[in-house]
Amino acid sequence: MPTILIDQDIYDYLASKAAATGEQPSSVLRRELHVPQPQATLEIDDQTYAFLLSKTTSLGESASSILRRELHLGGDSPDAQPTVITFHIPANTGTMAWNTRQTAVVGAVGDTLRIVNDDAVPHRLHTSGTPFAHPATDILSGQSADYVLQAPFDPDQAGPLYDHDAGTQAEFWIRVQPRP
């Protein structure tokens, strides 16, 4: 890889534009100059391909965008980086509500909701496909599951989500905003 000598003020400028701690100035330079990322072809099996398709958040989303999100590498641009929002189901929740309207989880389309089950019993959210697909399996005690927030969701209009296993009294409040 070639090396170039640049003035300190240019280096400082590039360092100030870093999207994340530890981002290399060379990566910032590539982004600031709008130099496209080099691409490579990757052969994948049908099951992996189907998995990637299930994780799309918008029509025509690139495989690279999906992989960046699923591998927690950040978004396509520093202005729209998805984040991981972690929610812990409290111990001794059982069939009670997971949280309240006042303590609702707030995220944006493209963010990943990580639910950690700190309770002694399995839990599974019930969705009607929004803000993400209805989970097929429970989250066992001590385990977690990740869900990409795929669509805006307003619990004031749609009502809260709830625990599929425990019923509608086991509410989960979440608000998902469109990605700015």
Distance of CA 58 to the CA centre of its chain: 14
Q: Burial code of 162-177, b = ≥16 C-beta within 10 A, e = fewer? A: bbbebeeebbbbbbbe
Domain boundaries, the chain: 1-38, 84-177
Q: Which of 152, 142, 143, 140 is nearest to 111 (CA)?
A: 152
Q: What is the pLDDT of residue 79?
A: 41
Q: What's the CATH code, domain 84-177?
A: 2.60.40.420
Residue 66 banded pLDDT, cuts 50, 70, 90 = confident
Strand partners, 174: 105
pLDDT digits (tens, 9 = 90+) for 25-50: 888 888 788 887 777 888 899 898 88
Distance CA 44, CA 175 (A): 35
CATH class of segment(s) 1-38:
mainly alpha
Q: What is the pLDDT of residue 49?
A: 87
Q: What is the pLDDT of residue 76?
A: 46
Instruction: Output 78 or 44, whichever has higher pLDDT.
Output: 44
Say whether 58 sits in a helix, a strand or coil. coil
pLDDT digits (tens, 9 = 90+) for 131-157: 999 999 999 999 999 998 989 999 999
pLDDT digits (tens, 9 = 90+) for 99-135: 999 999 998 888 889 999 999 999 999 999 999 999 9
Residue 77 banded pLDDT, cuts 50, 70, 90 = very low
Distance CA 135, CA 42 (A): 28
Task: Supply φ then ψ for residue 15, to 5 degrees.
Answer: -65, -35
> Tokens standing for 58?
């918008």
Answer whether residue 94 shows pLDDT above 80.
yes
Look over the chain and give the mean of its residue pLDDT values, rounded to a whole number: 86
Residue 18 banded pLDDT, cuts 50, 70, 90 = confident
